[in-house]
């Protein structure tokens, strides 16, 4: 058994099923992000894990111990799980030190031991100097540090975090991101980190569980989500992915296939199990398109396109264009800032890389 094992979890509120057959096996010490749009069920999943919600069916084990299952439900305080909430959930009437000590006090630890643990935990998140302040007199970032110190003091081996950066200014997020990574390295705790922000998930997590409408649709390393999305939803959700139709897919071995995309002959990556297909959906990203050096040269791999908009983004130009039959396919390309590009221009682009999305039947498992 791993650190967290969720099996066939279902959860409804009244008639609405919010979690559908969720299964996740998370290794001890792993940093896992759960990534999905607002309302897809992330917080509900976290609350089931923490024990704040009864589950409908399925099982939850943490460290091999049954937490939730048929006719059983362990109380949150008995689970040994640390939780960091978006709104920090600090007691307003207690000082920073009292907030961090509270769980230890409930657990019956002596005053002296508590003091040592709290002092150490606050030092680790560099909040020792503010130990006597109240939460109201702290910044958002400082409050989040106190919430982390609370998990440190409890020595929780499993820590759940629900969008802990969502209420913070952009400039603070990077610093706190580093703080979470350092916390993980220091404690070796298993981290279960919920976010709707892909860059956060990718910056922190060993593996990311992509969630959509109550289901986990892919649980994989960030590179795999980016390069080998299992379905169109993941492809479109990750890294500004674009999904379009390709024709005449012919696998040529070594995980590659030839295909026709918007009239051009291209080579794409594909699953080893991929077969010849008349049509398939493929995915790629704005960096996968490139402009052909000589726009008047036509080659079999060239895709004609009309530029609709070009936006200067510092290091690169974000170029929007239309291509394909009746110019109906919108494409976005990031290219090195290039003086010659402007709306109305006709150019020829190539697709340097792309992925043949597996057929649904191959995508399960
Ligand atoms: N206590 C509740 N009672 C009824 N519906 C709820 C409750 N909590 C969450 N929901 C519903 O469950 C769905 C998922 O919510 P939530 O887990 O908060 O999503 P997320 O955290 O991904 O934004 C939403 O449609 C929400 O309205
Ligand atoms: Mg939520």
Q: How far from 101 is each of 92, 117, 123, 230, 340, CA to CA, in Å?
A: 14, 8, 14, 45, 63
Residue 233 lies in a domain: no
Parent domain of 249: 240-356
Task: Find out whether the beta carbon of 195 lies less than 6 Å from any atom of ligand 1.
Answer: no
Same-domain pairing of 44 and 149: yes
Torsion angle of C-alpha atoms 135, 140, 146, 147, degrees rounded to 10 = 110
Domain of 131, CATH number, reads 3.40.50.300
Q: How far does residue 44's CA lie from ligand 1's centre (Å)?
A: 6
Same-domain pairing of 209 and 323: no
Domain of 323, CATH number, reads 2.40.50.100
Task: Quickly list H helices, the chain.
Answer: 42-50, 96-106, 111-124, 140-154, 170-187, 198-204, 222-227, 232-237, 360-363
pLDDT for the residue 298: 61
Same-domain pairing of 208 and 345: no
Same-domain pairing of 299 and 350: yes
Same-domain pairing of 126 and 186: yes
pLDDT for the residue 161: 93
Residue 234 lies in a domain: no
Same-domain pairing of 205 and 268: no
pLDDT for the residue 141: 84
Let me know how long the chain is: 365
Residue 170 lies in a domain: yes
Last residue of one domain, picked from the residues 194, 227, 260: 227
Strands 158-162 and 81-84: parallel
Ligand nearest the Cα atom of residue 12: 1
Same-domain pairing of 200 and 329: no
What's the half-sphere exposure (Cβ side, CA atoms, 13 Å) at 232? 8
Same-domain pairing of 218 and 258: no
pLDDT for the residue 363: 44
Residue 336 lies in a domain: yes
pLDDT for the residue 2: 67
**pTM of the complete model:** 0.90
Ligand nearest the Cα atom of residue 47: 1
Residue 196 lies in a domain: yes
pLDDT for the residue 362: 45
What's the half-sphere exposure (Cβ side, CA atoms, 13 Å) at 305? 30
Into how many domains does the chain fold?
A: 2
Residue 232 lies in a domain: no
Residues with CB under 5 A from ligand 2 (ion): 42-43
Q: How far does residue 42's CA lie from ligand 2's centre (Å)?
A: 5
Residue having the nearest C-alpha atom to atom 20 of ligand 1: 39
Same-domain pairing of 78 and 221: yes
Residue 273 lies in a domain: yes
Residue 361 lies in a domain: no
Kindly tell me the sign of the dihedral angle through the C-alpha atoms of 191, 167, 88, 52: negative
Mutate to test the pocket of ligand 1, among 39, 52, 215 (most ligand atoms within 8 A of CB): 39
| Residue-level pLDDT, tens digit, the chain, 365 residues | 569 999 999 999 999 999 999 999 999 999 999 999 999 999 999 999 999 999 999 999 999 999 999 899 999 989 989 888 877 788 999 999 999 999 888 888 999 999 999 999 898 888 899 999 999 999 888 888 898 888 888 888 999 999 988 877 777 788 788 888 988 998 899 999 999 999 999 999 999 999 999 999 999 999 999 999 999 999 999 999 999 999 999 999 999 999 999 999 999 999 999 999 999 999 999 999 998 866 555 677 899 999 999 998 888 899 999 998 888 899 999 988 766 788 999 999 999 999 999 998 644 44
Last residue of one domain, picked from the residues 227, 250, 273: 227
pLDDT for the residue 152: 83
Q: How far does residue 18's CA lie from ligand 1's centre (Å)?
A: 7
Q: How far from 275 is each of 165, 230, 251, 282, CA to CA, in Å?
A: 44, 16, 6, 14
Task: Find out whether the beta carbon of 48 lies less than 6 Å from any atom of ligand 1.
Answer: no
Same-domain pairing of 162 and 184: yes
pLDDT for the residue 44: 97
Same-domain pairing of 181 and 49: yes
Contact 184/193 with Cβ under 8 angstroms?
Answer: no
pLDDT for the residue 338: 66
Same-domain pairing of 45 and 168: yes
């Amino acid at each position: 058994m791993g650190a967290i094992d969720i099996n066939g979890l279902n959860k409804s509120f009244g008639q609405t099923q919010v979690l559908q057959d969720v299964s996740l096996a998370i290794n001890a010490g792993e940093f896992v992000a759960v990534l999905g749009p607002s309302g897809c069920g992330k917080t509900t999943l976290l609350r089931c894990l923490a024990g704040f919600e009864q589950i409908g069916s399925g099982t939850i084990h943490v460290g091999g111990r049954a937490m939730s299952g048929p006719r059983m439900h362990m109380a949150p305080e008995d689970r040994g799980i640390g939780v960091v909430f978006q709104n920090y959930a600090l007691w307003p009437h207690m000082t920073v030190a009292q907030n961090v000590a509270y769980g230890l006090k409930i657990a019956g630890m002596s005053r002296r031991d508590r003091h040592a643990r709290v002092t150490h935990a606050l030092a680790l998140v560099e909040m020792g100097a503010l130990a006597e302040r109240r939460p109201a007199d702290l910044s958002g970032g400082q409050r989040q540090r106190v919430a982390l110190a609370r998990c440190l003091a409890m020595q929780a081996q499993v820590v759940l975090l629900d969008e802990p950066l969502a209420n913070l200014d952009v400039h603070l997020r990077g610093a706190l991101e580093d703080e979470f990574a350092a916390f993980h390295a220091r404690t070796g705790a298993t981290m279960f980190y919920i976010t709707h922000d892909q860059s956060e998930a990718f910056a922190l997590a060993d593996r990311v569980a992509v969630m959509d409408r109550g289901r986990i649709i892919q649980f994989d390393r960030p590179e795999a989500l980016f390069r080998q999305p299992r379905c169109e939803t993941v492809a479109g959700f990750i890294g500004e992915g674009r999904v379009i139709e390709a024709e005449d897919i012919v696998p040529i071995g070594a995980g590659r296939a030839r295909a026709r995309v918007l009239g051009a002959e291209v080579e794409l990556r594909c699953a080893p199990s991929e077969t010849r297909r008349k049509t398939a959906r493929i995915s790629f990203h704005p960096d996968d398109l490139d402009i052909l050096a000589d726009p008047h040269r036509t080659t079999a791999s060239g895709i004609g396109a009309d530029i609709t908009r070009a936006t200067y983004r510092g290091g690169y130009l974000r170029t929007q264009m239309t291509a394909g039959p009746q110019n109906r396919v919108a494409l976005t390309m990031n290219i090195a800032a290039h003086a010659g590009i402007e709306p109305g221009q006709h150019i020829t682009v190539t697709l340097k890389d792309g992925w043949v999305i597996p057929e649904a039947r191959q995508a399960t498992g």
